[in-house]
Amino acid sequence: MTNGLATMRGVQHRLLAEPAGAPLPELDRTQLIGLLREAGLTGRGGAGFPTWRKLEAVTVAPGGPVVVANGAEGEPASGKDGLLLAYHPDLVLDGLQLVARALGARSTHLYLPAAAAGPIRAVLDARRRAGRDPIAAVNPTIAPDAFIAGEESAVVAALSGRPAVPADKRVRVTRAGLGGAPTLVQNVETLAQIALIGRRGPGWFRSAGTAEEPGTFLATVSGAVAQPGVVEAGYGVPLGELIDAAGGATAPLQAVLIGGFHGGWVPARPDLPVSRAALAHYGTSPGAGIVIALPQGACGLIESARIASYLAGQVSGQCGPCINGLPRLADTLTDLAYRRAKPGLPAEVKRLTALVTGRGACRHPDGTARMIRSSLMTFDADVVAHLHGHCTQEAVRR
Amino acid sequence: MTDALWYFGRGSGLVALVLFTIVVALGIGARSGRPIPGAGSGTLLPRFAVNLLHRNAALLAAVFLGGHVVSLYFDPYAQLRFVDLVLPFAGQHRPFWLGLGTLALDMALAIVVTSLLRRRIGARAWRVVHWLAYLCWPIALLHGLQTGTDGGTWWLRAIACLCAAVVLAAVAWRLSPSFTRFPQRAKRRVPDHRAAVDGDRGSGTGRPRHGLAEVR
Amino acid sequence: MSESRLHIDWTACDGRGLCAELLPELLAEDDWGYPLVRDGATEPAVPRALEGAARRAVDRCPVMALRLTLSSTSTS
């Protein structure tokens, strides 16, 4: 498929079309890390960290690492991990085995929502009988239904039998995590991509996406679309193509939230490439591929305020600036959204976003602040209108 | 000589009680996070100084407590065996009231040692032991009132009343809603390290079930 | 080049305010009494001149939420 410089950036089926049961190569640590480095795979859980670097980090210390497949998917608007676990569990588990074998893992775990556990146990049993998990038995652990339950250190806490809340980052889990061992937490989609790369090679992987952001990703498209669901595409895919793959917009679109509740609002430009490079201009990134379409007529500030209130309720409550700042931020944004004009409202929102950023054990306040800042930017006309008691979408609704 | 030991024993016990009263008041003051205001709009003692003063007064009180215990141990009139210094209620003379003193000594020792070693034992263990202070102080006061020969004197009763008034006022302040500098501050949640969070049914948009038990 | 950085354990910090008193050049207080790094950094660098004060702040924090880490300047 590789054709010189041209890569497939549009909607396509790779992960979602991969047959189950294909053989897995046996790779050692150096081989796997080399493959992943060449492929340029980045984490599909939202942070987008280079996968080969993470693998390397857990192999610095002697003794095998702990490998965890993270399928918690705490974000309400995301469905890709659930889809993978329900319809392509073997691909995820193959990736897990590939990594565990290569790194000499001391234990492997699967962290997933309660609803997915039953079916997964059946899959694990079948694999065990067929001898597909020779190295490591996979221990499933239930993830609580909370937004931050999928955060890396929260995952380690849950696996240790503690509440699934983030821990202080002085010692990263890659250095000491579960039981003090270096712990590799990978999103289930990342593991599935690793299995594909192991089978088909980095060149094949790079034939999709862009040169700087290779490969495909799973997007969950929802909002004002006819068929909300999971769509696979190469990075750089035009936004309009993703919307069309989800059945097309049900109404003219006003804006799109990309990257989920911790992402950012962008104008509904069909030609806007969904890639880190293009979205950086709007202060956001593809994240875990969540795309929410906002139609004309809906108020972007009200939607943002709703999301902010939800996020404020999802704090673990351990950190002072977050448990105090996020509700205040949500309340202030809600005042602006419902046109309860007070002097200096937008400035106060901006001040609070700066106040909560970087002052917590995890990135929950940072992500919330980022989404809110982007809403003030993308819906700037509404900010002005609301301060005067109007909304730009009034005309549309009438 | 034995008279000197006896007088020193009683005196140091009284000084220790007064000092520990100041320690408790300063400890509560330190917990409030408020500096001690000075003349005009100035500060007499900033927060960290209140904190340091609490610590230093505690160490000084511990010295007098040590003097109280050691001198009485060597005083034949007090009839103390070594076991009476560590095991409460085993004494020969007034075993109950003496035992209270031993109990208070044990607790004070635990508080001081855990405070000196707090970096090793961690914040939670330190805090649990430190709360014993609220138990230790009244026990020490009762011991002081009833054990020695000064129980009936007017001056001991007066000093004891004054100390009790100070501690009661400090505790009342501690429990009042205006104690904290930021009454509108949300209570942080501290993870309960005991129980695992079992698989939850979806709680939808309700409160997330992190499994955080204590509310500080 | 080696320098110290001040690490705040936010899961332990209770906003008691001693650190802001002992390190006013680096820390202020926010709306709720929690330490606010003046230059906006997550882990502020502690210049040599302030190292003594920083150590005192670390030692005096009632909940032991502070730590001075010696690190080489990196991009992290």
pLDDT at B149 over 90: no
Residues of B with Cβ-Cβ distance to C22 under 8 angstroms? 48
Interface of A with B in 246-305 (CB under 8 A): none
pLDDT of residue A91: 94
| CATH architecture entry for A15-206 | 3-Layer(aba) Sandwich (3.40)
Band of the pLDDT at B195, cuts 50, 70, 90? very low
CATH of the domain at C58: 3.30.70.20
Residue B215 has pLDDT above 70, yes or no: no
Judged by a CB distance cut-off of 8 A, whether residue B118 touches chain C is yes
Q: Mean per-residue pLDDT for A5-30?
A: 83
Q: Is B188's CB within 8 Å of A318's CB? A: yes
B186 and A317 within 8 Å at the Cβ level: the answer is: yes
Whether residue A334 is predicted with pLDDT greater than 80 in this model: the reply is yes
Q: If you average pLDDT over residues A4-22, what whole number do you get?
A: 78
B201 and A114 within 8 Å at the Cβ level: the answer is yes
Which domain, by its residues, includes B42? 2-189
Domain of C23 in residue numbering reads as 2-72
- The reply to whether C55 touches chain B by the CB within 8 Å rule is no
Task: Report the pLDDT value the prediction gives residue B27, as an integer from 0 to 100.
Answer: 97
Check CB contact under 8 Å for A165 and B188: no
CA distance A101 to chain C (A): 30
Q: Does B200 touch chain A (CB under 8 A)?
A: yes
pLDDT digits (tens, 9 = 90+) for C52-67: 999 999 999 999 999 9
What gap in Å lies between CA A160 and CA A139, rounded to an integer? Answer: 12
Return the residue of B nearest to A146 by Cα: B208
Distance in Å, alpha carbon of B39 to nearest chain A alpha carbon: 33
Question: What is the pLDDT, as a whole number, of residue B213?
Answer: 42
Is there a contact between A146 and B210 if contact means CB atoms under 8 Å apart?
yes
Short-list A122, A88, A69, CA closest to A20: A88
Q: Using a CB–CB cutoff of 8 Å, tell me whether C11 touches chain A.
A: yes
Residue B131 DSSP code: T
Q: Is B11 part of a structural domain of the chain?
A: yes
Structural domains counted in chain C:
1
- Residue B152 — pLDDT band, cuts 50, 70, 90? confident
For chain B, state the CA radius of gyration.
Answer: 21
In this structure, of A225-229, A248-252, B125-129, B147-151, the range with the lowest mean pLDDT score is B147-151
Nearest-CA distance B135 → chain C (Å)? 21
Whole-model pTM: value is 0.91
Q: What digits encode the pLDDT tens for the residues A163-214? A: 999 999 999 999 999 999 999 999 999 999 999 999 999 999 999 999 999 9
Let me know if residue B68 belongs to a domain.
Answer: yes
pLDDT in tens, A286-297: 999 999 999 999
Region A216-295: CATH code: 3.10.20.600
Query: Is there a contact between C13 and A319 if contact means CB atoms under 8 Å apart?
Result: yes
Q: Do A318 and C11 touch (CB under 8 A)?
A: yes
Q: Is the pLDDT of residue C71 over 80?
A: no
Look at B48 and C64 and tell me if their CB atoms are within 8 Å: no
pLDDT confidence bin for B207, thresholds 50/70/90: very low
Return the pLDDT at B92: 76
How close is the nearest chain A Cα to the Cα of C45, in Å? 15
User: Higher-confidence residue: C74 or A171?
Assistant: A171
Kindly report the average pLDDT of chain B as a whole number. 86
| C46 has a pLDDT exceeding 60 | yes
Residue numbers in A near B207 (CB within 8 A) = 313
Minimum mean pLDDT range among A369-378, B131-140, B188-197, C17-26: B188-197
Q: Which of C15, C32, C42 sits opposite A358 (nearest CB)?
A: C42
**CATH class assigned to A300-397:** mainly alpha
A117 contacts in chain B (CB < 8 Å): 199
- Enumerate the residues of chain B whose CB falls inside 8 A of the CB of residue C15: 33, 182, 185
Q: Which of C15, C31, C67 sits opposite A170 (nearest CB)?
A: C67
| Chain A residues inside the 8 Å CB shell of C12 | 168
pLDDT of A135 reads: 58
Q: For B96-125, what is the mean pLDDT?
A: 94
Where along chain A do its domains lie?
15-206, 216-295, 300-397
* pLDDT digit string, tens, across residues B42-96: 889 999 999 999 999 999 999 999 999 999 999 888 888 888 888 888 877 778 8
State how many domains chain B has. 1
| B186:A114 CB<8 A | no
- State whether residue C9 sits within 8 Å of chain B by CB: no
Residue B190 pLDDT more than 70?
yes
Task: Give me the residue from A328, A355, A360 closest to C10, CB to CB.
Answer: A360
Contact B208 A163 (CB under 8 A): no
Cβ distance B208 to A323 less than 8 Å, yes or no, reads no
B33 touches chain C (CB under 8 A): yes
| Interface contact B33-C64, CB threshold 8 A | no
Minimum distance, in Å, between the CA of residue C49 and any CA atom of chain A = 24
